[in-house]
Copies of this chain bind each other. A is one copy, B any other.
Amino acid sequence: MKKLPRKIITRVLLYIRTLESLIKEKRFLVSSKQLSEITGLSDVKIRKDISNFKKIGKPRIGYKTLDLKRTLENYLIQGNTVRVVLFGAGNLGSAILRYPGFRKGNVRLVAAFDALRRKTGKKVGGVHIYPVERSPEIIRRCRADIGIIAVPKEHAQEVADFMVLSGLHRIINFAPCPISVPAKVQVRNIDFTIEFLSLFCDTQK
Protein backbone atom coordinates (compact mmCIF):
# COMPACT_ATOMS: atom_id res chain seq x y z
CA MET A 1 0.00 0.00 0.00
CA LYS A 2 1.28 3.40 -0.91
CA LYS A 3 2.37 5.94 1.66
CA LEU A 4 -0.30 8.50 2.35
CA PRO A 5 0.32 12.17 3.09
CA ARG A 6 0.17 13.38 6.64
CA LYS A 7 -3.09 15.21 6.15
CA ILE A 8 -4.89 12.02 5.27
CA ILE A 9 -3.23 10.06 8.08
CA THR A 10 -4.40 12.65 10.56
CA ARG A 11 -7.94 12.24 9.31
CA VAL A 12 -7.67 8.46 9.35
CA LEU A 13 -6.78 8.65 13.04
CA LEU A 14 -9.85 10.78 13.57
CA TYR A 15 -12.01 8.24 11.72
CA ILE A 16 -10.71 5.47 13.92
CA ARG A 17 -11.53 7.38 17.07
CA THR A 18 -14.98 8.20 15.74
CA LEU A 19 -15.62 4.59 14.79
CA GLU A 20 -14.54 3.48 18.25
CA SER A 21 -17.17 5.62 19.88
CA LEU A 22 -19.83 4.45 17.39
CA ILE A 23 -18.96 0.85 18.13
CA LYS A 24 -19.22 1.55 21.83
CA GLU A 25 -22.78 2.74 21.19
CA LYS A 26 -23.44 -0.52 19.33
CA ARG A 27 -23.80 1.17 15.96
CA PHE A 28 -22.44 -1.23 13.37
CA LEU A 29 -23.27 0.67 10.21
CA VAL A 30 -22.44 4.21 9.28
CA SER A 31 -22.64 6.28 6.10
CA SER A 32 -20.16 8.89 4.98
CA LYS A 33 -22.90 11.44 5.51
CA GLN A 34 -23.21 10.48 9.16
CA LEU A 35 -19.45 10.48 9.63
CA SER A 36 -19.46 13.91 8.06
CA GLU A 37 -21.88 15.21 10.65
CA ILE A 38 -19.84 13.82 13.52
CA THR A 39 -16.42 14.88 12.33
CA GLY A 40 -17.25 18.11 10.55
CA LEU A 41 -15.40 16.99 7.42
CA SER A 42 -17.20 16.82 4.08
CA ASP A 43 -18.69 13.46 3.12
CA VAL A 44 -16.88 13.40 -0.24
CA LYS A 45 -13.55 13.89 1.47
CA ILE A 46 -14.33 11.03 3.81
CA ARG A 47 -15.23 8.70 0.95
CA LYS A 48 -12.14 9.76 -0.95
CA ASP A 49 -9.93 9.08 2.05
CA ILE A 50 -11.51 5.70 2.66
CA SER A 51 -11.18 4.76 -1.00
CA ASN A 52 -7.41 4.80 -0.49
CA PHE A 53 -7.77 1.46 1.18
CA LYS A 54 -10.11 -0.90 -0.61
CA LYS A 55 -13.71 -1.20 -1.62
CA ILE A 56 -15.20 -1.64 1.75
CA GLY A 57 -18.49 0.25 1.70
CA LYS A 58 -21.79 -0.88 0.23
CA PRO A 59 -23.82 1.61 -1.82
CA ARG A 60 -27.14 2.36 -0.21
CA ILE A 61 -25.92 0.79 3.05
CA GLY A 62 -22.71 2.49 4.14
CA TYR A 63 -19.73 1.10 5.99
CA LYS A 64 -19.58 -1.61 8.60
CA THR A 65 -18.00 0.19 11.52
CA LEU A 66 -16.05 -2.84 12.71
CA ASP A 67 -14.64 -3.64 9.27
CA LEU A 68 -13.76 -0.07 8.50
CA LYS A 69 -12.00 0.39 11.82
CA ARG A 70 -10.02 -2.79 11.30
CA THR A 71 -8.98 -1.81 7.78
CA LEU A 72 -7.82 1.63 8.83
CA GLU A 73 -5.93 0.27 11.81
CA ASN A 74 -4.24 -2.37 9.72
CA TYR A 75 -2.87 0.28 7.45
CA LEU A 76 -1.43 2.23 10.36
CA ILE A 77 -0.06 -0.77 12.15
CA GLN A 78 1.75 -2.16 9.13
CA GLY A 79 3.43 1.24 9.10
CA ASN A 80 5.19 -0.01 12.22
CA THR A 81 4.65 1.04 15.76
CA VAL A 82 6.32 4.28 16.75
CA ARG A 83 8.11 3.97 20.06
CA VAL A 84 8.40 7.18 22.01
CA VAL A 85 10.45 8.04 25.09
CA LEU A 86 9.89 10.99 27.35
CA PHE A 87 12.42 13.18 29.13
CA GLY A 88 11.04 15.02 32.14
CA ALA A 89 8.28 13.74 34.41
CA GLY A 90 7.09 17.13 35.66
CA ASN A 91 3.67 18.57 35.05
CA LEU A 92 3.63 18.29 31.29
CA GLY A 93 5.51 15.01 31.33
CA SER A 94 3.06 13.46 33.79
CA ALA A 95 0.13 14.65 31.70
CA ILE A 96 1.60 12.98 28.65
CA LEU A 97 2.35 9.79 30.58
CA ARG A 98 -1.24 9.57 31.76
CA TYR A 99 -2.63 10.09 28.31
CA PRO A 100 -4.57 6.92 27.47
CA GLY A 101 -3.91 6.98 23.73
CA PHE A 102 -0.28 6.04 24.23
CA ARG A 103 -0.99 2.69 25.80
CA LYS A 104 -2.39 0.92 22.79
CA GLY A 105 -2.35 1.61 19.09
CA ASN A 106 0.66 2.40 17.03
CA VAL A 107 2.17 5.18 19.08
CA ARG A 108 3.61 3.76 22.30
CA LEU A 109 5.25 5.59 25.12
CA VAL A 110 7.83 3.03 26.21
CA ALA A 111 9.96 4.78 28.83
CA ALA A 112 10.41 8.03 30.71
CA PHE A 113 13.46 9.64 32.26
CA ASP A 114 13.96 12.19 34.99
CA ALA A 115 16.97 13.71 36.68
CA LEU A 116 15.37 13.83 40.14
CA ARG A 117 15.81 10.76 42.30
CA ARG A 118 12.42 11.18 43.95
CA LYS A 119 10.69 10.77 40.59
CA THR A 120 12.55 7.75 39.33
CA GLY A 121 11.74 4.13 40.07
CA LYS A 122 8.02 4.80 39.94
CA LYS A 123 5.49 4.17 37.25
CA VAL A 124 3.16 6.85 35.91
CA GLY A 125 0.42 5.90 33.48
CA GLY A 126 1.92 2.44 33.32
CA VAL A 127 5.30 3.72 32.13
CA HIS A 128 8.51 3.33 34.10
CA ILE A 129 10.51 6.41 35.03
CA TYR A 130 14.25 5.81 34.92
CA PRO A 131 17.20 7.94 36.00
CA VAL A 132 18.32 9.96 33.02
CA GLU A 133 21.78 8.35 32.96
CA ARG A 134 20.24 5.08 31.90
CA SER A 135 18.66 6.55 28.77
CA PRO A 136 21.32 5.48 26.22
CA GLU A 137 21.05 1.87 27.30
CA ILE A 138 17.26 1.82 27.53
CA ILE A 139 16.65 3.69 24.30
CA ARG A 140 18.89 1.27 22.48
CA ARG A 141 17.21 -1.72 24.05
CA CYS A 142 13.65 -0.70 23.25
CA ARG A 143 14.63 0.75 19.87
CA ALA A 144 12.78 4.01 20.44
CA ASP A 145 12.27 6.28 17.45
CA ILE A 146 11.14 9.56 18.92
CA GLY A 147 12.05 11.47 22.07
CA ILE A 148 9.97 14.12 23.75
CA ILE A 149 11.59 16.98 25.67
CA ALA A 150 9.39 18.05 28.55
CA VAL A 151 12.03 19.47 30.88
CA PRO A 152 12.52 23.09 32.02
CA LYS A 153 14.09 25.15 29.26
CA GLU A 154 17.35 25.49 31.19
CA HIS A 155 17.99 21.80 30.62
CA ALA A 156 16.53 21.43 27.15
CA GLN A 157 19.80 21.63 25.23
CA GLU A 158 21.55 19.29 27.64
CA VAL A 159 18.79 16.72 27.27
CA ALA A 160 18.77 17.14 23.48
CA ASP A 161 22.49 16.35 23.37
CA PHE A 162 21.84 13.29 25.46
CA MET A 163 19.07 12.18 23.12
CA VAL A 164 21.29 12.48 20.09
CA LEU A 165 23.99 10.50 21.87
CA SER A 166 21.44 7.86 22.69
CA GLY A 167 20.70 7.47 19.00
CA LEU A 168 17.34 9.20 18.66
CA HIS A 169 16.74 10.78 15.28
CA ARG A 170 13.51 12.60 15.92
CA ILE A 171 12.81 15.00 18.74
CA ILE A 172 9.66 16.77 19.81
CA ASN A 173 10.60 19.78 21.88
CA PHE A 174 8.02 21.25 24.25
CA ALA A 175 10.56 23.48 26.00
CA PRO A 176 9.99 27.07 24.98
CA CYS A 177 13.43 27.55 23.47
CA PRO A 178 15.23 26.46 20.33
CA ILE A 179 17.66 23.56 20.55
CA SER A 180 20.52 22.78 18.23
CA VAL A 181 21.17 19.27 16.97
CA PRO A 182 23.09 17.67 14.11
CA ALA A 183 21.46 17.99 10.69
CA LYS A 184 20.43 14.33 10.55
CA VAL A 185 18.19 14.82 13.58
CA GLN A 186 14.69 16.07 12.90
CA VAL A 187 13.25 18.48 15.46
CA ARG A 188 9.68 19.63 15.89
CA ASN A 189 9.30 22.51 18.28
CA ILE A 190 5.91 22.75 19.87
CA ASP A 191 5.01 26.25 20.88
CA PHE A 192 1.71 26.12 22.71
CA THR A 193 0.97 29.72 21.88
CA ILE A 194 1.45 29.11 18.18
CA GLU A 195 -0.59 25.96 18.23
CA PHE A 196 -3.42 27.60 20.09
CA LEU A 197 -3.69 30.71 18.09
CA SER A 198 -3.66 28.85 14.83
CA LEU A 199 -6.35 26.47 16.04
CA PHE A 200 -9.02 29.02 15.50
CA CYS A 201 -7.56 31.08 12.71
CA ASP A 202 -9.41 29.49 9.89
CA THR A 203 -12.92 28.46 9.21
CA GLN A 204 -12.11 25.64 6.86
CA LYS A 205 -14.47 22.71 6.79
Q: Can you list 8 pairs linking A and B with CB atoms under 8 Å apart?
A: A5-B202, A13-B193, A13-B198, A14-B194, A92-B92, A92-B95, A102-B192, A107-B193
Q: A91-B92, A92-B92, A191-B17 are in contact. Are A197 and B9 (CB under 8 A)?
A: yes
Residues of B within 8 A of A172 (CB): 196, 199
Residues of B within 8 A of A202 (CB): 5-6
Q: Is the CB of B196 within 8 A of A84?
A: yes
What is the CB-to-nearest-CB distance from A17 to chain B, in angstroms, rounded to a whole number?
7
Q: Is the CB of A201 within 8 A of B105?
A: no
Residue A21 CB within 8 A of the other chain = yes
Number of copies: 2
Residue A98 CB within 8 A of the other chain = yes
Q: Is the CB of A193 within 8 A of B105?
A: yes
What is the CB-to-nearest-CB distance from A171 to chain B, in angstroms, rounded to a whole number?
10
Residues of B within 8 A of A71 (CB): none
- Cα(A137)–Cα(B13), bound, Å: 38
Residues of B within 8 A of A82 (CB): 196-197, 200
Using an 8 Å CB-CB cutoff, how does the interface string of A79-121 with B read, 1 for contact, 0 for none?
0001010000011101110111110011100000000000000
User: 9 new A-B pairs (CB below 8 Å) besides A21-B178, A172-B199?
Assistant: A6-B198, A9-B197, A13-B193, A13-B198, A14-B191, A17-B194, A82-B200, A91-B91, A170-B200
Q: A178-B21, A200-B170 are in contact. Are A194 and B13 (CB under 8 A)?
A: yes
- Cα(A192)–Cα(B98), bound, Å: 11
Q: Enumerate the 9 nearest inter-chain pairs by beta-carbon distance, A residue then B residue, closest first.
A: A101-B193, A92-B95, A6-B201, A6-B202, A91-B95, A91-B94, A10-B198, A13-B194, A91-B91
What is the CB-to-nearest-CB distance from A65 to chain B, in angstroms, rounded to a whole number?
15
Residue A136 CB within 8 A of the other chain = no
Residue A51 CB within 8 A of the other chain = no
